[in-house]
Chains A and B, each alone.
Chain A
């Protein structure tokens, strides 16, 4: 290894710095050093990327219920505005969330302002669980995606889209349909909750309906824990509506019954 007798110099702290292996006093003096050392900032940035990979390699799946708890807690936390140039932007240090988390998973009181409707939250939770699988795959993604991975990628794209909007509609035979759609991505994610169970000879089928005709989208897989889907519909055209009908289990080319739900997509 290279001789580095001056190895105790301040700039050698960069490794300890990006791993938080330093005292607050060390950190303060190193950060002062960073201000005057562009190369050190560049080094710190690159080494931070490496440490992020160390963290990713240690990933563990959280217990499923933590997602909903965290999302409900977030609904009670006001977000900081972006930094506007010319204004100071101190982030208050030592913020603690325990008081928020402490109440998050209790049933919401009458006055609680939950900004996610229950049904929507359940859908987001279900989708995010799917996306978790996808997220884990992301890090190991090399080359081609399988069909399932493509679907999950599409779900993540729709949910992450800037213009993602959520539409819910009652299913006439029971249950609720939820559509998260992005006009920009020209795609939507469909889920349904609490659908009436059908005899095995029948199944729910999704359609895109437009003035030019009806296009079958696919059969809704059997519900798990009351939740059906998610199904991804991509390459949406203008003026199309999403519909669901009850069909023979093998599916139909054209709807053979009246839709049990219609979602006007707009745009």
Chain B
């Protein structure tokens, strides 16, 4: 296809993660971790582990597996900290990309069909459970408010994919939508979410 003619709604309004110094902290901590500074690793753990565990738990559901994934991710961060490139985005985005990917890989490689059907039944309530999380931070409320600003299909597509760990094909099946529709709902919903959250 001709990519040059593609539409990119909402793009260009924001510099994405280019301004990686946002709040500064985690990039500096990662740099120290890359030098083998174990105290810095403690700080990285303190700042990243709750979100890593949170997303693993949302995707995997199983508490023990989620903890395993959380530890694997933290060790992966320890191991690869020197490879983090601030020009590709923020440290938070890098960390959460590693975390989410690993959780999803675990689901896809280990979850059997029966489990997936079970998850299908529970994943639809995933969004509401956001409020049941142990934390009710301002950030949390802001994300919730921004999710509420999406259309139902955008929100369901995103929560099933990101929190549920489903592929867009599976999401299409679950929602009874065409694959192309789901792809655009995911993209447009995330763009709206990005703008609502004021991501830099």
Contact = CB atoms under 8 A, between A and B. Distances in A.
B144 A57 contact: yes
Contacts of A82: 34, 82-83
Contact of A21 (B74, B75, B166): B166
Interface in B94-152: 95-97, 99-101, 104, 130, 133-135, 137-140, 143-144
Contact of A159 (B36, B43, B168): B43
Given A21-B171, A40-B8, A160-B32, A59 B135 contact: yes
B176 interface: no
A52 B42 contact: no
Contacts of A1: 188
Most buried by A among B39, B42, B75: B42
Interface residues of B, number: 106
Q: Is the interface of A mostly helix, strand, loop or mixed?
A: helix
Contacts, number: 342
Contacts of B61: none
A2 B34 CA distance: 46
18 contacts: A8-B180, A15-B184, A15-B188, A19-B190, A21-B168, A21-B186, A43-B191, A49-B90, A52-B90, A56-B51, A57-B130, A60-B134, A66-B71, A79-B78, A101-B71, A125-B42, A131-B43, A138-B25
Given A43-B11, A57-B143, 4 more contacts: A1-B188, A7-B184, A19-B190, A61-B135
Interface of B: 1, 3, 6-9, 11-12, 14-18, 23, 25, 28-29, 31-32, 34-43, 45-55, 57-58, 67-68, 70-72, 74-76, 78-83, 88-90, 92-93, 95-97, 99-101, 104, 130, 133-135, 137-140, 143-144, 158, 161-163, 165-169, 171, 179-191, 193-194, 197, 199-200
